Amino acid sequence: MSDDKGKQLVGIVLVSHSAQVAASVAELAQGLAGGGTAVPVAPAGGTEGGELGTSAELIAAAAASVDRGAGVAVLTDLGSAVLTVKALLAEGDELPDNTHLVDAPFVEGAVAAVVTASTGADLAAVEAAAAEAYTYRKV
């Protein structure tokens, strides 16, 4: 199995206060990644009841669903999304091994992460690409 590790793709989890935002950003990022290798991307938006907010259960389920053994990059919008992921990471056993909260802008970071992951890059490279999206100034 370990011989295959280089072929495993990093999984991406997109956590937003809104289910629609998370799902749409996932769709956008996958669309812009083009027709290459399909990266496992899972949105975790809103609460379990479909309201605005953050759900620890949805985040944990999304992370488990995209874990291919190469690590999971989690991107978030703000407030409780950031804090809930940090709290889950602190729990130790709630998220797959090698899950990282990525410090990146949500939309731009998601696109950079998915495109980079589609090349078979490792978690560190995916994280770096997403974080680099902060440096792209628009004006």
Partner 1 sequence: MLDAAFFRRWMTATAASVDREAERLTALDSPIGDADHGSNLQRGFTAVAAAVKKEDPQTPGAVLTLAGRQLISTVGGASGPLYGTLLRRTGKALGDAGEVSETQFAEALRAGVDAVMTLGGAAPGDKTMIDALVPAVDALGDGFVAARAAAEEGALATTPLQARKGRASYLGERSIGHQDPGATSSALLIAGLAEAVDE
For residues 33 and 114, what is the distance between their CA atoms, to the nearest angstrom?
6
CA angle 128, 109, 113 (to 5 degrees): 60
Cβ distance to partner 1 smaller for residue 30 or 76: 76
**Residue of the chain from 50, 51, 124, 134 that contacts partner 1 (CB under 8 A):** 51
Among 18, 47, 98, 119, binds partner 1 (CB under 8 A): 47
Please state, in angstroms and as integers, the Cα–Cα distance from residue 91 to each residue in 50, 51, 57, 87, 103, following that order: 25, 25, 13, 6, 19
* Residue nearer to partner 1 on the CB measure, 36 or 79: 79
Pattern of binders to partner 1 over 53-92, x per CB under 8 A?
xxxxx---------------------xx--xx-xxx-xx-
